[in-house]
């Protein structure tokens, strides 16, 4: 390693940071060739991870992080190592990696007491230093990508095929479920302790608090086109600014009844697809299988927002949509 570092210094890839002032241990500055190499590696990684994957979007979060993010992620309490110093040779070790509490360099047992070595950097924000004005430099590049939504609604949640997993992904979020079947709402309220919004087939009757995220998996795949358009408008109105609506639709190219035109609706009793559930929707005018072309979906969504992402072949005949307000 020493030879590699020396070579990189000679060739201008890296230099010791603040070298004329004695440097800073563990910190290096990129030289002209180092900058080019770093940019090439970053560009190759970005191309492989983002441009070549339809379901991944790029994001560069701020370096400063709200302390609550790292508190709820567990970093604030666990992102530290117990360190000890050898009083004889001055070397430093992780306490949990020393067999028999002996220094790995000299074998001495004369060690300091373990002290927490925090791996996060804390800084103050604003002109006054006090306990309430600090933030952390992000310890992980991806940390801020996965900040929880505060309000999440599973629309058309049924008996919890999706909603039962939401608490694992959106910790500390207020999760609500909405379903046309009262018995399904009661089941989820008792089994998962979710907040519930019972509604009818009439979209205009739907009322909810503003949501950060609304999920509708395998919902619009089963209602007529007119009802889909009405629900799309109502749900979009219930999104907060920058909130997201995620839903699936059947790809018309996979329609077994023909794939001509913008959409196809096939009437179907729910009894034929969900046997064993006691509260069926038997009105075939309100329940069936609906297939859409991607162009028509985009046409409908652009009325509300141009921030549209579509993932093809999400599952089975379903494509997935993310619409951002």
Summarize pLDDT for 33-62 with one digit per residue, the tens: 999 999 999 999 989 888 887 767 777 778
CB environment 24-61: b (16+ within 10 A), e (fewer): eeeebebbeebeeeeeeeeeeeeeeeeeeeeeeeeeee
Q: Span 134-159, mean pLDDT?
A: 78
pLDDT range class, residue 281, cuts 50, 70, 90: very low
The class of domain 148-324 in CATH terms is: alpha beta
Residue percentage of the chain with pLDDT more than 90: 28
Summarize pLDDT for 216-225 with one digit per residue, the tens: 999 999 999 9
* Residue 149, pLDDT above cutoff 90: no
Summarize pLDDT for 155-192 with one digit per residue, the tens: 998 899 899 988 877 777 888 899 888 888 888 888 88
pLDDT range class, residue 19, cuts 50, 70, 90: confident
Q: What is the pTM (predicted TM-score) of this model? A: 0.56
Closest to 299 in 3D by CA, of 239, 213, 229: 229
Report domain extents, the chain: 2-51, 64-141, 148-324
């Amino acid at each position: 390693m020493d030879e590699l570092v020396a070579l990189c210094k000679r060739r201008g890839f890296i230099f010791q940071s603040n070298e004329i002032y004695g440097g800073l241990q563990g910190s290096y500055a990129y030289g002209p060739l180092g900058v080019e190499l770093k940019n090439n590696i970053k560009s190759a990684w970005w191309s492989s991870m983002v441009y070549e994957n339809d379901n991944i979007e790029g994001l560069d979060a701020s370096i400063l992080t709200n302390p609550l993010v790292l508190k709820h992620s567990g970093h604030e309490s666990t992102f530290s190592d117990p360190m000890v110093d050898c009083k004889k040779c001055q070397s430093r070790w992780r306490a949990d990696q020393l067999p028999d509490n002996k220094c790995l360099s000299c074998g001495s047992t004369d060690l300091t007491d373990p002290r927490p070595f925090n791996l996060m950097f804390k800084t103050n924000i604003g002109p006054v230093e006090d306990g309430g004005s600090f933030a952390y430099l992000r310890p992980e590049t991806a940390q801020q990508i996965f900040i929880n939504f505060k309000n999440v609604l599973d629309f058309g949640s049924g008996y919890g095929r999706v909603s039962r997993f939401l608490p694992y992904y959106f910790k500390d979020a207020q999760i609500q479920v909405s379903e046309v079947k009262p018995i399904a709402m009661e089941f989820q309220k008792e089994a998962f302790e979710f907040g519930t919004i019972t509604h009818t087939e009439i979209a205009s009757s739907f009322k909810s608090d503003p949501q950060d995220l609304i999920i509708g998996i395998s919902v619009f795949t089963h209602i007529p086109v007119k009802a889909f358009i009405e629900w799309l408008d109502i749900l979009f109105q219930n999104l907060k600014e920058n909130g997201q609506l995620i839903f699936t639709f059947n790809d018309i190219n996979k329609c077994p009844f023909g794939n001509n035109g913008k959409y196809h609706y096939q009437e179907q009793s729910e009894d034929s697809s969900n046997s064993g559930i006691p509260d069926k929707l038997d009105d075939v005018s309100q329940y069936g299988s609906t297939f859409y072309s991607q162009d028509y979906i985009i046409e409908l969504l652009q009325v509300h927002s141009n921030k549209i992402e579509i993932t093809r072949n999400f599952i089975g005949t379903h494509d997935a949509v993310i619409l951002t307000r």
